[in-house]
């Protein structure tokens, strides 16, 4: 491309388009990792939408520089009928909104760096002090944020109307008026955007346009011209004025465009020559976005610091690769580093090697000669074979036809096959066709690989048994030209490419390198959460293998979709939303499986929890103490009746005591609700809890583990946060007694060790050193043999609750008693002897250690699971529903219909704001995921397409109604009736889940089944 700068240069650009719908934000994540910059497009009418915030956050997390295009400015003129002055104010507000999002991200980063710096300074010297607010502002001033915000005078904003073909930046008009008015371009660049105006008498640019009631320079010199052009061409259709405009701009318009009945055709013809949008965007990208040679060192360190490890703790050979990243060199000695962000499927017929290329003149002449020779040979052979044709059997001709049919059909089947191409970027070195490389899994440790592999080993030499490391060959390299693929022999550093032949080595994303010292890149940041799931089965059972293969291909092709097989044997597809689900089902049917299948209704996830006993009943009457006790006793009587009283006991405080069937172990468990803030913290910290569990497992097994200081700081901070949130007499010192988290050892539920005399190794032993942990573990050696059985029972209980077998959330289980007898032989000597007492009197028997996973362990797991479930049922139970945040931009005309649709689907409006200067309303609401299917279609139908919702998964919310509620007081009987058969939303959801899972559903099928006379018999 030739630019308008003083020195003409050529640029090579790789442009990756990504979908704008919130459900497909995973596609944005895969594209952002491969790019050096991002073009963020914002609607001039709607402003900053949820997806805009998601894109800006993803660009920030990947340390890439964004530029802004404010599109659809024609809607301000044609639809909203704004004046040029009102449009200027509107555009200012949009820029403020975008910069507010960026400023929030920037501030959080400054605060993090300040906290790290303060900790370092406190360790070195204790002289640090002062007002933290002053410190924060001083730190913020130190950080350079000149390239952070969007401003037209910086050249990182383009105003455009893509449908009409025009777009411009401040720089273009600065050059135009520099030639016409003689004002310096540098002065115009600083004053065209802002509170400046042109004083015609003094012929100077002055400040304070708003205070003096003058038109801003941007309005006077830029917007007024565009508004007058639309007025002449679209509104008035003034031919004389159009001719004057065309003449003054010095452009040529075809006569057929001037005569066209649609004014938009003439407008596009003028604007595409005067202010071509492609040129404006291309100039901005070339001038403002960095090249691969300008990659920031901070981004490189962030990409290479996988998991809990810091960049400083990586091996020296790995740290040296940072220079290769920053050089981005294509020299032969540079190590090859490639990141594959996604795999996409193409038909085999679309590959360049399978396409027919045009023949040259020499090849055509040669083929013509061969065809003539074959024809002559055939004519000669026909004369000889005619005498023998009658003696050949009939099956000979049939075999010929069958062989021809097979030869013709095989290429078609091959052409219909799906081939996977890896979407990747070369960060260092040169990728060559047929080159062998290492495939680094996400858990690959370069330190372990360098110790295991011999020095100087390459991928062509083969790989020893190194975990998470394999080899593959790049069979073909492609240049991605839209839908077309161009085959290449080699690709230098800094380019985006497609790689063939990796489908067996890479599932969704991977890091490829010729050096085993290269670490795997950090995982992609997916904003969308897969929440919507459906069960799929083929219409013909014989086609099940095709469905399984198709779902495997879909799982590999879609970065956000998940495919799994449930315990019931169902094949389940998990997607990010309704639109994403429909797209995946269409791809599965038309491209991957190519069979007819049936999909179930969406499987809605729920969570089960307990709450504090309510203080008022269903008619808002205060519950008396006697009534509360009566309800508790009623629940306890039902629980006791369901099981034998000698193995299960529930007291009035909700403590459940359970004895195993072999009478060897007794467990007492109490359930209580966690504060909502603690549940949110546990949800946010799943990765940290998983890391903590891995560290504790390594310490239990005696393996050494190199833990980075940053990880230890994060764990210590997590512990401090837990302690600060768990305040009060009930939660005193409870963090030190945390036994485990669940389900799957990192969920939002807590198991507490409240057993007297049992000192087990602390969950936070990595913070206090390994020596302390070993001393604490010594006296509890015997009880620790079956310690894992208690944890396993807790994990099973939290994985499927008693209400509808859904996972628990926000529940704390406290083990207050755990007695286990030494053996069956000792039962007659002293049945009251516990395992803890036995350990003090005599050492552990080898037989007891050998039986730690025997029948006692299995019965203890089952008893612990049942005790947790019974303790859960002894508290007020509630369902938790997944909630979407719904943002709607609509006009005042259909506002009532919007509220009607939201109310019908259990939605709740949080706030409603009217956009200044327009009749548009921005409504923010929350909506249960269970009610969201078909919501967008119904919305568009009811509002005649004037409103469209954006749904993003937000949080889990407790449904206030009790699914087991029955009227107990006189007021409730009067209000709800004896049957209390009014709609109970929680009960409806619970029964739907139980029915789907094949569990027992307590409901009346027929009521008052009396014999009725028909009208026919009454005659």
Please state the rounded mean pLDDT for residues 762-770.
71
The rounded distance, in Å, linking the Cα atoms of 337 and 690 is 29
∠ at Cα 516 (513, 518), nearest 5°? Answer: 65
DSSP sequence for 357-383:
PPPPHHHHHHHHHHHHHHHHHHHHHHH
The band of 854, judged by pLDDT with boundaries at 50, 70 and 90, is low
**Average of per-residue pLDDT across 131-151:** 57
Task: Report the C-alpha gap between 336 and 603 in whole angstroms.
Answer: 44
d(CA 315, CA 312): 8
Q: Residue 542 burial by CB count (10 A; 0-12/13-18/19+): exposed, middle or buried?
A: exposed
Evaluate if residue 26 carries a pLDDT over 80.
Answer: yes
Q: Is 654 left (phi over 0), alpha (psi -120 to 50) or beta?
A: left
**From CA 272, how far away is CA 251, in angstroms rounded?**
10
Residue 496 has pLDDT above 70, yes or no: yes
Q: What are phi and psi of 956, to 5 degrees?
A: -105, 140
Are 909 and 902 spatial neighbours (Cβ–Cβ below 8 Å)?
A: yes
Averaged over 192-218, what is the pLDDT?
81
For the record, the structure tokens of 466 come out as: 């190194």
Residues 6+ apart with CB under 8 A from 24: 18, 528, 560, 576, 579, 580
Burial of 371 (0-12, 13-18, 19+ CB in 10 A): exposed
pLDDT of residue 300: 83
989-1008: average pLDDT: 81
Q: Quick check: 524 pLDDT over 80?
A: yes
So what's the pLDDT on residue 825?
37
The predicted model scores a pTM of 0.76
Residue 829 confidence class, pLDDT cut points 50, 70, 90: very low
Q: Is pLDDT at 356 greater than 80 in this prediction? A: no
User: Of all residues in the chain, what percent carry a pLDDT higher than 90?
Assistant: 15
pLDDT of residue 384: 66
Is pLDDT of 750 > 90?
Answer: yes
Q: CA 52, CA 59: separation in Å to the nearest integer?
A: 11
| The pLDDT value given to residue 313 | 66
pLDDT of the residue at 662: 82
pLDDT value, residue 880: 93
Res. 410 pLDDT band, cuts 50 70 90: very low
The whole-number pLDDT of residue 365 equals: 87
Is the pLDDT score of 785 beyond 70?
no
| pLDDT band (50, 70, 90) for residue 596 | very high
Tens of pLDDT, residues 231-284: 888 888 888 888 888 888 888 888 888 888 888 888 889 888 888 999 999 999
687-708 tens-digit pLDDT: 889 888 888 888 877 776 667 6
Report the range of poorest mean pLDDT among 522-536, 642-656, 783-797.
642-656
pLDDT higher at 528 or 293 = 293
- Check residue 397 and give its pLDDT: 47
pLDDT exceeds 80 at position 866: yes
Segment 483-493 mean pLDDT: 87
Does pLDDT of 594 surpass 50? yes
CA dist 328 and 306 (Å) reads 21
Write the pLDDT tens digit of every residue in 807-827: 999 999 999 888 877 653 344
Name, in order, each residue with C-beta under 8 angstroms of 292's C-beta and a sequence gap of 6 or more. 36, 328, 427, 493, 494
Q: How confident is the model at residue 781 (pLDDT cuts 50, 70, 90)?
A: very low
pLDDT > 70? residue 132: no
Q: What is the pLDDT of residue 533?
A: 87
Residue 845: the pLDDT is 40
- C-alpha span between 932 and 292 (Å, rounded): 43
Q: What is the rounded average pLDDT of the residues 69-85?
A: 90
**Digit-coded pLDDT (tens) for 271-290:** 888 889 999 999 999 988 88
Q: How confident is the model at residue 429 (pLDDT cuts 50, 70, 90)?
A: confident
Q: Give pLDDT, residue 234.
A: 87
Q: Please give the Cα distance from 562 to 558 (Å, whole number).
A: 8
625: pLDDT strictly greater than 60: no
Mean pLDDT, the chain, whole residue set = 79
| pLDDT number for residue 784 | 53
Q: How far is CA 404 from the centre of its chain?
A: 51
* Rounded Cα–Cα distance for residues 327 and 271 (Å): 42
Kindly give, in sequence order, each residue whose CB lies less than 8 Å from that of residue 71, ignoring residues fewer than 6 positions away.
41, 42, 43, 44, 160, 161, 162
Is the backbone of residue 130 left (phi > 0), alpha (psi -120 to 50) or beta?
A: left
Q: Show the 3-state SS of 467-504.
A: CCEEEEECCEEEEEECCEEEEECEECCCCEEEEECCCC
Predicted confidence (pLDDT) at residue 943 exceeds the cutoff of 80 = yes
Instruction: Provide the b/e sequence for 794-810 (b: ≥16 CB within 10 Å).
Output: bbbbbbbbbbbbbbbbb
**In Å, what is the CA distance from 674 to each residue of 548, 609, 797, 809?**
41, 9, 16, 9
Question: So what's the pLDDT on residue 3?
Answer: 38
pLDDT band at 121 (very low <50, low <70, confident <90, very high): low
DSSP 14-36: -------SGGGHHHHHHHHHH-S
Q: Please, are residues 424 and 341 in contact by the beta-carbon 8 Å criterion?
A: yes
Supply the pLDDT for residue 799.
Answer: 92
In this structure, what are the phi and psi dihedrals at residue 422, rounded to the nearest 5 degrees?
A: -85, 130
Confidence of residue 144 (pLDDT cuts 50, 70, 90): low
Predicted confidence band of residue 324 (pLDDT cuts 50, 70, 90)? confident
Query: Given this model, what pLDDT does residue 13 score?
Result: 87
pLDDT at res. 483: 78
Measured CA to CA, the distance from residue 818 to residue 142 in angstroms comes to 58
Q: 34-43, 70-79, 133-142, 874-883: which has the minimum mean pLDDT?
A: 133-142
Query: pLDDT value at position 857?
Result: 82
What's the Cα-to-Cα distance from 717 to each of 190, 516, 693, rounded to whole Å? 46, 34, 16
- Between 619 and 137, residue with greater pLDDT: 619
Would you say 791 and 749 are in contact if contact means Cβ atoms under 8 Å apart?
A: no
Task: Give the model's pLDDT for residue 610.
Answer: 93
User: Is residue 347 scored above 90 in pLDDT?
Assistant: no
pLDDT of residue 113: 66
Q: Give pLDDT, residue 613.
A: 82
> Alpha-carbon distance 304 to 522, whole Å?
7
For 833-849, what is each residue's pLDDT tens digit? Answer: 333 333 333 333 434 43
């Amino acid at each position: 491309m030739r630019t308008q700068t003083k020195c003409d240069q050529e640029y090579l650009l790789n442009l990756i388009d990504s979908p704008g719908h919130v459900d497909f934000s995973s596609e944005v994540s895969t594209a952002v990792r491969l790019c050096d910059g991002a073009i963020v497009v914002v609607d001039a009418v709607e402003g900053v939408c949820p997806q805009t915030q998601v894109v800006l956050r993803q660009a920030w997390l990947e340390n890439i520089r964004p530029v802004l295009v404010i599109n659809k400015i024609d809607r301000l003129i044609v639809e909203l009928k704004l004046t040029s002055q009102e449009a200027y104010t509107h555009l200012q507000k949009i820029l403020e909104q975008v910069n507010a999002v960026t400023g929030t991200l920037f501030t959080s980063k400054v605060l993090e760096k300040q906290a790290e710096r303060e900790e370092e300074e406190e360790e070195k010297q204790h002289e640090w002090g002062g007002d933290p607010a002053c410190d924060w502002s001083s730190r913020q001033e130190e950080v350079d944020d000149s390239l952070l915000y969007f401003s037209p005078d910086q050249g990182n904003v383009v105003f455009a109307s893509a449908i009409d073909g025009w777009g411009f930046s401040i720089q273009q008009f600065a050059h135009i008026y520099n030639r016409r008015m003689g004002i310096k371009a540098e002065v115009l660049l600083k004053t065209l955007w802002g509170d400046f105006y042109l004083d015609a008498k003094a012929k100077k640019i002055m400040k304070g346009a708003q205070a003096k009631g003058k038109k801003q320079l941007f309005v006077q010199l830029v917007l007024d011209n565009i508004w007058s052009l639309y007025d002449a061409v679209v509104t008035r259709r003034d031919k004389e004025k159009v001719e004057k405009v065309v003449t003054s701009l010095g452009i040529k318009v075809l006569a057929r465009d001037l005569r066209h009945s649609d004014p938009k055709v003439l407008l596009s013809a003028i604007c595409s020559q005067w202010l071509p949008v492609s040129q404006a965007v291309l100039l901005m990208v070339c001038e403002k976005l960095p090249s691969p040679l300008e990659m920031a060192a901070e981004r490189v360190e962030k990409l290479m610091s996988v998991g809990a490890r810091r960049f400083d703790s990586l091996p020296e050979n790995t740290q040296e690769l940072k220079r290769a990243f920053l050089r981005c060199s294509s020299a032969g000695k540079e190590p090859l580093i490639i990141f594959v962000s996604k795999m996409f499927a193409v038909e085999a017929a679309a590959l360049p090697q399978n396409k027919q290329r045009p023949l040259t003149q020499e090849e055509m002449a040669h083929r013509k000669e061969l065809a003539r020779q074959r024809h002559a040979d055939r004519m000669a052979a026909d004369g000889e074979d005619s005498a023998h044709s009658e003696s050949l059997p009939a099956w000979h001709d049939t075999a010929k036809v069958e062989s021809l049919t097979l030869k013709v059909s095989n290429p078609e089947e091959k052409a219909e096959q799906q081939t996977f191409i890896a979407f990747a970027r070369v960060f260092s070195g040169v990728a060559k066709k047929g080159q062998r490389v290492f495939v680094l899994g996400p858990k690959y440790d370069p330190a372990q690989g360098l110790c295991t592999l011999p020095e100087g080993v390459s991928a062509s030499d083969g790989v020893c048994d190194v975990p998470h490391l394999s080899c593959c060959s790049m069979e073909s390299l492609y240049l991605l030209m839209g839908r077309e693929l161009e085959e290449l022999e080699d690709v230098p550093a800094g380019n985006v490419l497609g790689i063939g032949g990796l489908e067996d080595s890479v599932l969704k994303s991977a890091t490829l390198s010729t050096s085993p010292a290269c670490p795997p890149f950090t995982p992609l940041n997916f904003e969308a959460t897969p929440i919507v799931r459906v069960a799929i089965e083929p219409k013909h059972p014989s086609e099940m293998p095709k469905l399984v293969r198709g779902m495997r291909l879909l799982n590999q092709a879609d970065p956000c979709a998940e495919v799994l097989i449930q315990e019931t044997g169902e094949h389940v597809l998990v997607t990010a939303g309704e639109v994403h689900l429909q797209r995946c089902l269409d791809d599965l049917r038309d491209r991957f499986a190519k069979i007819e299948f049936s999909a179930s209704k969406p499987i809605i996830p729920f969570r089960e929890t307990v709450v504090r006993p309510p203080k008022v009943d269903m008619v808002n009457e205060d519950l008396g103490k006697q009534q509360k006790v009566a309800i508790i006793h009623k629940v306890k009587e039902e629980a006791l009746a369901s099981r034998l009283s000698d193995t299960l006991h529930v007291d009035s405080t909700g403590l459940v005591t359970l004895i195993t069937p072999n009478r060897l172990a007794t467990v007492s468990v109490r359930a209580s609700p966690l504060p909502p803030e603690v549940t949110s913290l546990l949800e946010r910290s799943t990765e940290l809890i998983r890391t903590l569990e891995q560290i504790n497992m390594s310490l239990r097994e005696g393996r050494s583990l190199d833990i980075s200081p940053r990880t230890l700081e994060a764990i210590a901070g997590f512990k401090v946060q837990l302690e600060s949130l768990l305040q009060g007499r009930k939660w005193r010192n409870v963090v030190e007694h945390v036994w485990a988290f669940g389900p799957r050892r990192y969920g939002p539920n807590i198991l507490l060790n409240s057993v007297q005399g049992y000192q087990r190794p602390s969950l936070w032993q990595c913070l206090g050193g390994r020596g302390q942990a070993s001393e604490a573990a010594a006296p509890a050696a015997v009880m620790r043999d079956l310690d894992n059985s208690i944890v396993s029972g807790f994990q099973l209980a939290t994985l499927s609750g008693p209400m509808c077998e859904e996972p628990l959330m926000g529940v704390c289980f406290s083990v207050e008693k755990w007695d286990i007898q030494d053996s069956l032989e000792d039962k007659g000597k002293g049945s009251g002897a516990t395992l803890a007492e036995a350990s003090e009197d005599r050492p552990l028997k080898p037989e007891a250690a050998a039986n730690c996973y025997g029948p006692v362990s299995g019965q203890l797991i089952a008893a612990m699971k049942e005790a947790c479930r019974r303790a859960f049922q002894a508290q007020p139970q509630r369902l938790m529903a997944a909630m979407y945040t719904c943002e709607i931009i609509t006009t005042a005309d259909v506002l009532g219909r919007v509220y009607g649709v939201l109310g019908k689907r259990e939605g709740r409006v949080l706030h409603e704001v009217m956009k200044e200067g327009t009749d548009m309303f921005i409504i923010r609401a929350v909506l249960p995921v269970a009610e969201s299917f078909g919501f967008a279609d119904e919305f568009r139908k009811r509002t005649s397409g004037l409103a469209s919702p954006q749904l993003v998964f937000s949080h889990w919310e407790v449904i206030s109604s009790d699914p087991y509620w029955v009227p107990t007081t006189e007021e409730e009987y009067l209000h709800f009736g004896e049957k209390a058969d009014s709609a109970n939303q929680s009960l409806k959801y619970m029964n739907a889940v139980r029915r789907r899972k094949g569990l027992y559903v307590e409901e009346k099928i027929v009521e008052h089944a009396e014999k009725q006379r028909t009208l026919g018999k009454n005659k």
